[in-house]
A and B are shown apart, each in its own frame.
Chain A
Amino acid sequence: MSEESNARFRRTLIRVMTVQVVTLLLLWLLQKTFTPR
């Protein structure tokens, strides 16, 4: 695998993980804001 393809994979990976973390944070916020304790 070329260095360029590895770099592209790493970039995509960082974007994927960022989207997941943001989604989980939003879901947590949704639960925390609207679900009574």
Chain B
Amino acid sequence: MVFGFFRVLGRAFQLYGETIAYLGATIQDVFTSKKRRQQVITTWLDQIYWIGNKSASIVLSTIAFVGMISIVEMSFQMNRVLHSTDFVPGFAALIIFREFASVIPAAMMAGKVGAGITAEIGSMQITEQVDALRLISLNPVKHLVVPRFVACVVAMILLSSIASLVAFTTAMMVTDVKLQISPEMFVNTALFFVGPSDLWVNVFKAFIFGQIIPIIASLYGFLTRGGAEGVGLACTKAVVYSGLVIVILDFFITWAATAIL
């Protein structure tokens, strides 16, 4: 089991390296050949449209609730410890911008987009379409993984930026109703706590998580064996492990960010 873990880890790093290498090759193609440029840009835009559009509804509706929950919970805790709720907007905005705006969209994208990528590549794998691609000398990583990789990174950065604003707005609404703090006060208090560095941390996290989701999803897609059942198992594994890796990396990024900033 331990060796299996290291084998999968090695495959993951190998796939990541191959993806970056073929991404470079594709970008080179874009700059050199005109025919290939149109092809590549069309594929990328197509994938960005599908991936971003597919996950926008779930990401934005979940993050709206997360913003509201964070106000309710923070006001309860701060009322007990600091005996005042004046700073609740600041605390909630801080935790929204630093954590929730990147982690919750990433978890939802892993469930929706990641499982979709695994199912797609996994069913291509068990019907030997991946081998067929190799047979006509098309590299499966270059033609299947790279477009999804680019699309996931772009969509993740865009969606987490929108998500932070959505959560901020819903938090403002709940604060107005529940704590009688006006939106102006909310923005003033929040801006006192949140700085530009928090926004950059958010974008950085989205950039990292957007890379992890397609890599793990397509890794388990390529590792799929044994019929339709295998595809289901691979999807579950992809969702669970990408969620786990996201949480673990989030811990270390948060740690580094608080140490540096």
Q: Are A and B a genuine interacting pair, yes or no?
A: no
Chain B interfacial positions (CB closer than 8 Å to A): none
